[in-house]
Amino acid sequence: MDNSLKDALRKAKRKQLLIIVITSIIVVLILLPILYKTGNYFAAKSSKRLHEQLFLHNEIAEPNIQINSQVTSSSSMFGGNIVTNRSKNINGYVVQWSTLTSSYDWLRIKIDSNELIPGFYWSDKEFYEFDKQTKNKFATFYHPSIQNYFDVQNELWEISQMENYVAEVAISFDQPYTLQEIQTKIPDNLNIVWLYMTSQIADESKGPAGVQVYGFNPCDSPKEEYTSFIKALEKYVENGGIENIQEFLKLNKNKQFDEVKILGVMLTGQTQNFKALENQDFIRGASVGATAPIVPYIKPEK
């Protein structure tokens, strides 16, 4: 093969290679914006879904816990994190609660369940649940149909001895009651800030089974809040699962709120005001949650 033919072949190969390189660059330049736009679309869709799930969970399953802010963090076209800052209102005193860092990608969302589940302190002399970040005590509810709890606490005497404090206390009833019946039993100087409506019935004889409780804040319009609660529960289980919620909805969603039975309440107030509840027959258990010292510059609600 003569030199001129070899040169021609080399030039043809170089030209072909150059065309391939230029074509590849053009394809990449076209695909990158498409990939970026597509990635951001799916990431934004998952981010929105995670935001909604976090608000929904707080609405029905976080006793006396408020979301103060919820922002997207470490966001990219592939996913990111959502940081939820939370607190408790203890009779007008804002108490810090654990912060959730939940994640999402194109296909999945993951709520920070590790921080939603309380920690456990267990020794020969004491057992209690606590918030993992703040280390504040976690108030525990007891289902009236579960007879085999490892331990049912009634801490009303202990909390009523504390001076110059505000506290929250989870009151579990011996049997379900209507709100009207409850209001006749709870002193006016305590706040009813959450109604315990349902939870799974599980074996609690060897310790907490990590059962999630469901309920809502009655605010100033319990009937309206109950309607919102039912709608939120239906949305929460629209893809199936959570048998106890399905049963609760089947039994109660068509009832008037005045007829619906409540399993317990979360109360807040000044500690000495809980003394009136000591030795009351309708109380099966009373578990103290977060507390805060009263200071001169913040006036309790009650």
Q: Determine the length of the chain.
A: 302
Q: Which residue has the higher pLDDT, 32 or 195?
A: 195
pLDDT beyond 80 at 18:
no
Q: What are residue 8's phi and psi, to 5 degrees?
A: -65, -40
pLDDT beyond 80 at 40:
no
Q: Give yes or no for a contact between 128 and 288, defined as CB atoms under 8 angstroms apart.
A: no
| Domain assignment present for 229 | yes
Indicate the pairing of strand 66-76 with strand 79-90: antiparallel
Q: How far apart are CA 143 and CA 204, in angstroms?
A: 10
- 184 by DSSP, 3-state: which? helix
Task: Please tell me the predicted confidence (pLDDT) of residue 183.
Answer: 95
Domain range enclosing 270: 113-293
Q: Which residue has the higher pLDDT, 274 or 8?
A: 274
| Domain assignment present for 42 | no
pLDDT beyond 80 at 195:
yes
| Domain assignment present for 118 | yes
| Domain assignment present for 75 | no
Give the percent of the chain with pLDDT over 70: 85
List the one residue out of 256, 266, 261 whose CA is nearest residue 186. Answer: 266
pLDDT beyond 90 at 259:
yes
| Domain assignment present for 203 | yes
pLDDT digits (tens, 9 = 90+) for 112-127: 999 999 998 888 888 8
Task: Please tell me the predicted confidence (pLDDT) of residue 168.
Answer: 98
| Domain assignment present for 10 | no
Q: At 242, is the pLDDT very low, low, confident or very high (cuts 50, 70, 90)?
A: confident
In the chain, the amino acid numbered 92 is: G
Total domains in the fold of the chain: 1
**Tokens standing for residue 58:** 């707080």
Task: Please tell me the predicted confidence (pLDDT) of residue 12.
Answer: 62
pLDDT beyond 60 at 200:
yes
Q: At 275, is the pLDDT very low, low, confident or very high (cuts 50, 70, 90)?
A: very high
Task: Please tell me the predicted confidence (pLDDT) of residue 106.
Answer: 84
Give the percent of the chain with pLDDT over 90: 64
| Domain assignment present for 27 | no
| Domain assignment present for 127 | yes
